[in-house]
Chains A and B, each alone.
Chain A
Amino acid sequence: MRRPLGTRAPLLAVRGAALAYLLAFVALPVAALAREGFRGGAAKFVAALASDQARAALGLTLKVALAMAAVNAVMGTWIAYVLVRRPFPGRAVVDALVDLPFAIPTLVTGVMLVALYGPQSTLGALAGASGLRLMYAPPGIVIALLFVTLPFVVRAVQPVLLELDVGQEEAALTLGASPWTAFRRVLLPPLVPAITSGTLLSFARALGEFGAIVVVSGNIPGRTLTAAVLVYGEIESGRPQVAAAVSTALLSFAFALIVTVDWLQRRARHAVL
């Protein structure tokens, strides 16, 4: 059907601008990264990932991210529950505080944590005397990740909890359930998709975290060097191929997680309707 260009020109212009912007800013750089990662073929890509240093860094990254995710799933749900269901004075301030990690530069997060828990601080010295090393060690990395990803689970669970009927919990109590049983059997099941989404997102975020970790980890190769910090080191030492290979692997994994979360959330929305 003839359709004069004039009627469609503004639409096409907006569509074209949006597409061009995304292609130039997102697709092109990612393509360049993937090309560098696979320079020299798949064998070299695998070899780069299998080197001792890369394996140690990837292993540590997964380990600290898992530890963070476990704590975050529990504490994030807990905080969301208290914020929604247990009104207390100052609730609004605490609620706002939860978003602080989104606003604070990650590097500043690292600086703050070292100032509080570092070996030179009272707390750090105290912990060190009892044999627990917080900063420049894996626990410090986990603490930094917990700080950075705090909002993810809380903000995923909160809206779902708000929409759940308080009556269900109360009904369970009148039927003789203990508060803990009521929470576990009645409240928790509908929250599981939201908790999963938030935890996966925080996990994806943790895989690439750099600013907070580079300050608190000490960056000891093979012990406290995470993948993102390794990438940084490899670039600085002029070995972009290893950096690109590790980046490509991490990026693919993190993106798969985000797509999964998107799918989970869309499915949850359809289930509600």
Chain B
Amino acid sequence: MPSSEATAAVRIGARPPLRPGAALGRVLLLLVPGAYLAALLLAPLFAVVRAAFAHGPLAFAAAVSSPLALHAFAMTALTTAVAVVLNTAFGLAIAWVLVRDDFRGRRLLSGLVDLPFAVSPVMIGLMAMLLFGTGGWLLPATRALHLRVLFGWPAMALATTFVSLPLVVRELVPVLEEAGIAEEEAARTLGASRWQTLRHVVLPTVRWGLLYGVVLTTARCLGEFGAVLLVSGAMPGQTETATLLVYRLLEERRDAEAHAVAVVLATASVALLAAMKLVESRRNREHAAEGAA
């Protein structure tokens, strides 16, 4: 390796003196994407916050703490909780099967996992209606169970689960691939049962990836709109989630209240984004420490 001084000397010698045009080019190089991000991401965010507080903090507080708003937040929490629990448990199983198991049709399985990425939320709503609505394949089964799926919380939770299904799997697959199977095999030769191997070896190995996937899933579920709009019936105070409430308020020309609830959702998103970044930096740090192993 050449000394850093030598490299620096080469670099200085190679760079021609800056022309005025080059200086301008450098500024533009940073300025253009900066302006783009500001106009696309930040300015709208500030605009909605300003609009939400246009009638003062009291109006904001009233809008987000009305009984209907509180119920909407509770519905969002419920559908999110169901989807996160299901997709975490089964996401782990699916990722493990995709990486460790070997059988005919495994590639097909991988394609199935990606399919929800290609499906528009409204199509998911449509699918739910086709399955559970009049003449649907699953209607007899839910009738027999006396379960009201469509236009109730079960359909909302199922639709939300579908939308966010790939996220945990796609986070875990590369982590499991990189970790390799040797540690799991070592645990087994040391007498660990499958359950003990999962608890003591697999879960600690994938924990940051899993956590990242869970936070991502939560963010996706909180914001689900199109699918829930169709399958819920959007009945205020009953099957209305936070995003549905925002939509109804817009339709009713109650923009200030809509903006207030939207700001609550945006704040939750920003908090989740911060959590994602925290998880990511922890993971990178540990990865660097373990890299030598």
Query: A: which residues have CB within 8 A of B?
Result: 10-11, 14-15, 17-19, 21-23, 25-30, 32-33, 35-36, 75, 78-79, 82, 86, 88, 94, 96-109, 111-113, 115-117, 121, 143, 146-147, 150, 170, 173-174, 179-180, 204-205, 207-211, 214-215, 228-229, 231-232, 235, 240, 243-244, 247, 250-251, 254-255, 257-259, 262
Contact = CB atoms under 8 A, between A and B. Distances in A.
B93 A14 contact: yes
Contact of B97 (A18, A104, A244): A18
B226 A211 contact: yes
Interface stretch (B44-52, B56-64, B178-186): B44-52
Contact of A108 (B101, B110, B115, B262): B262
A211 B128 CA distance: 18
A115 B118 contact: no
Given A94-B37, A111-B246, A33 B126 contact: yes
Contacts of B118: 204, 208, 251, 254-255, 257-258
A17 B90 contact: yes
A112 B48 contact: yes
Given A22-B113, A82-B33, A173-B14, A228 B47 contact: no
The 3 A-B residue pairs with the shortest CB-CB distance in the complex, in nearest-first order: A105-B223, A208-B120, A29-B127
Nearest to A147: B40
Contacts of B111: 255, 259
Interface stretch (B67-75, B142-150, B203-211, B269-277): B269-277
17 contacts: A18-B98, A29-B130, A29-B131, A94-B37, A99-B276, A102-B220, A105-B243, A107-B243, A112-B48, A116-B43, A116-B48, A170-B14, A180-B25, A210-B121, A228-B120, A229-B122, A232-B229
Nearest to B271: A103
Interface residues of B, number: 86
A26 B15 contact: no
B265 A105 contact: yes
Contact of B223 (A27, A108, A232): A108
B114 A14 contact: no
B130 to A, nearest CB: 4
B94 interface: yes
A235 B125 contact: yes
A75 B29 CA distance: 11
Contacts of B103: 15
Interface string B10-21: 110011000000
A41 to B, nearest CB: 18
B230 interface: yes
A150 B41 contact: yes
A29 B50 CA distance: 41
A247 B274 CA distance: 35
B124 to A, nearest CB: 7
A204 B122 contact: no
B207 to A, nearest CB: 19
